[in-house]
């Protein structure tokens, strides 16, 4: 029998659906505090002193603004763990950064997760979100293409600002991951020439070369417009091209966050080109989000499933986050008989496809 409208379970259900229906407030407020540069303003060389919204406002908008509205945003994001709130004896609310908030602070290398937040909420990407249902009705054209008449990577590379933000967003997320992965992985032993497919600005390759002096030559391979802007990195040659046509030869291929955005058929083509580019016994080292088999409400599973819908909406309606077994099958379909998985991180796994 259905529960009464006044029962606790019905009450909780009504509350939960209201929370979900208003959820857009969360990413858009996160985007707002990044645009306003709030995390750097609170951090100020590591002080992280709790500040009132008025104090923060005077740092980020010296010409003035609405402190009460800033406080409303800070308060809501406090409930998502981005800020910590203290209420002093006079009733004034003060905010500092939690560990989550600190991921948005610009580090010594000029990086943080802030660029990723901004990249995901640019106008062209936002236009695609009301069209998620279209990916169900017709998965041959992605919502991003329906909204912008062009595929996302084609769109980014035509706009220097979008291109630059994409590279910065990738660096901000990939550098901390690579620091952790390189501490625990010794699979670059014996590799002298390494190709990074879809290497963006070349940060991953730079870090691999620093940690593994045996890797003497790095090829950072990405779209011509992307590598044209890449900074000089000792030992690394930037090469522009199209991974669907061919991939430069190397002892091994590194590839991070690339397979996820493409369909199974496209991944097979990329991996087949990798297969042609490495010698017998050579390998592809891929870092990709890997979905758990079971669904649950943990932060990890949510981050992975939310990312899956992002891929469906922006990159390929049939591009996807995959399970370990789906990656194994992709490798087999391109001719790689051996497959191993390493877990150094909650979001990405390191996958080895061996020839
Ligand atoms: C999600 S980003 C990952 C960047 C970098 N590997 C990282 O994890 O920080 C995917 C990269 O693939 C590149 N890419 C897209 N299409 C490509 C193609 N056809 N050939 C080569 N690279 C491509 C993009 O320009 C972008 O830099």
Domains defined along the chain, listed by start: 2-102 (1.10.10.10), 106-172 (no CATH), 173-354 (3.40.50.150)
Q: How confident is the model at residue 1 (pLDDT cuts 50, 70, 90)?
A: low
Average pLDDT over residues 130-152: 97
Distance 152 CA to ligand 1 centre (A): 11
Ligand 1 proximity of 246 Cβ (cutoff 6 Å) = no
| Alpha carbons 195 and 282: distance in angstroms, whole number | 12
* pLDDT score of 4: 87
Best of 164, 200, 289, 347 for a ligand 1 pocket test (most atoms within 8 Å of beta carbon): 200
C-alpha–C-alpha distance, residues 348 and 289, integer Å: 4
Question: Is the beta carbon of 206 within 6 A of some atom in ligand 1?
Answer: no
Is residue 253 lining ligand 1, measured as CB closer than 6 Å? no
Q: How far is the CA of 155 from the centre of ligand 1 (A)?
A: 13
Taking CA atoms only, the protein residue closest to ligand 1 atom 3 is 257
* Overall residue count recorded for the chain in this entry: 355
User: Taking residues 153-178, what's their average pLDDT?
Assistant: 95
Cβ–ligand 1 distance for 222 under 6 Å, the answer yes
353 lines ligand 1 (CB under 6 A): no
Average the pLDDT over 249-264 and give the result: 97
Q: How far apart are the CA of 170 and the centre of ligand 1, in A?
A: 9
Collect all residues with Cβ–Cβ distance below 8 Å to 44 and sequence separation of at least 6. Answer: 59
For the chain, what is the HEC assignment? CCCCCCCHHHHHHHHHHHHHHCCCHHHHHHHHHHHCCHHHHHHCCCCCCCECHHHHHHHHCCCCCCHHHHHHHHHHHHCCCCEEEEECCCCCEEEEECHHHHCCCCCCCCCCCHHHHHHHCCHHHHCCHHHCCHHHHCCCCCHHHHHHCCCHHHHHHHCHHHHHHHHHHHHHHHHHHHHHHHHHCCCCCCCCEEEEECCCCCHHHHHHHHHCCCCCEEEEEECHHHHCCCCCCCCEEEEECCCCCCCCCCCEEEEECCHHHCCHHHHHHHHHHHHHHCCCCCEEEEEEEEECCCCCCCHHHHHHHHHHHHHHHHCCCCCCCEEHHHHHHHHHHCCCCEEEEECCCCCEEEEEEEC
Average pLDDT over residues 174-186: 93
Q: Assess whether pLDDT exceeds 90 at residue 3.
A: no
144 contacts 152 by C-beta, under 8 angstroms? yes
The finding on whether 229 has its CB within 6 A of some atom of ligand 1 is no
Query: What pLDDT does residue 96 have?
Result: 98
**Residue 201 to residue 256: CA distance in whole angstroms:** 12
CB of 223 within 6 A of ligand 1: the answer is: yes
User: What is the per-residue pLDDT across 318-351, written as a single tens digit (0 to 9) for each?
Assistant: 999 999 999 999 999 999 999 999 998 999 999 9
First and final C-alpha spacing in the chain: 58
Report the nearest-CA residue for atom 21 of ligand 1.
222
Identify the residue with better confidence: 42 or 229: 42
Average pLDDT over residues 245-271: 98
Query: For residue 109, what pLDDT band results from cuts at 50, 70 and 90?
Result: very high
pLDDT digits (tens, 9 = 90+) for 207-223: 999 999 999 999 999 99
pLDDT score of 6: 87
Instruction: Kindly state if the Cβ of 220 falls inside 6 Å of ligand 1.
Output: no
Nearby residues of 237 by Cβ (< 8 Å), 6 or more positions away: 217, 218, 219, 220
Contacts of 195 (CB under 8 A, 6+ apart): 218, 219, 221, 247, 248, 249, 250, 252, 253, 254, 277
Shortest-distance atom of ligand 1 to CA 199: 6
Mean pLDDT of the chain: 96
Interval 64-82 mean pLDDT: 98
């Amino acid at each position: 029998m259905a529960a009464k409208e006044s029962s606790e379970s019905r009450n909780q259900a009504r509350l939960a659906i209201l929370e979900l229906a208003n959820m857009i407030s969360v990413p858009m407020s996160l985007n707002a505090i990044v645009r306003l540069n709030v995390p750097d303003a609170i951090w100020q060389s590591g002080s992280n002193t709790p500040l009132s919204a008025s104090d923060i406002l005077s740092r980020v908008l010296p010409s003035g603004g609405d402190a009460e509205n800033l406080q409303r945003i800070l308060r809501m994001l406090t409930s998502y763990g981005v800020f910590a709130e203290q209420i002093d004896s006079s009733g004034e609310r003060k905010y500092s950064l939690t560990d989550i908030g600190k991921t948005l602070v610009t580090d010594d290398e000029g990086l943080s997760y802030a660029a990723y937040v901004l990249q995901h909420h640019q106008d062209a990407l936002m236009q695609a979100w009301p069209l998620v249902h279209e990916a169900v009705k017709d998965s041959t054209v992605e919502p991003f293409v329906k909204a912008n008449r062009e595929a996302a990577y084609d769109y980014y590379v035509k706009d220097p600002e979008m291109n630059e933000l994409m590279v910065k967003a990738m660096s901000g997320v990939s550098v901390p991951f690579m620091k952790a992965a390189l501490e625990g992985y010794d699979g670059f032993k014996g590799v002298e020439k390494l190709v990074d497919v879809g290497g963006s600005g070349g940060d991953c390759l730079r870090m691999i070369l620093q940690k593994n002096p045996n890797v003497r030559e790095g090829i950072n391979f990405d779209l011509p417009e992307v590598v044209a802007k890449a900074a000089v990195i000792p030992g690394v040659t930037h090469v522009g091209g199209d991974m669907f046509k061919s991939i430069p030869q190397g002892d091994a291929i590194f590839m991070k966050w690339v397979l996820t955005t493409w369909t199974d058929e496209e991944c097979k083509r990329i991996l087949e080109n990798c297969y042609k580019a490495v010698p017998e016994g050579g390998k592809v080292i891929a870092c990709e989000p890997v979905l758990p088999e079971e669904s649950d409400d943990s932060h990890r599973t949510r981050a992975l499933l939310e990312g899956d819908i992002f891929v469906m909406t922006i990159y390929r309606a049939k591009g996807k986050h995959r399970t370990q077994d789906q990656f194994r099958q992709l490798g087999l379909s391109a001719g790689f008989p051996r497959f191993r998985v390493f877990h150094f991180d909650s979001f990405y796994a390191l996958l080895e496809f061996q020839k």
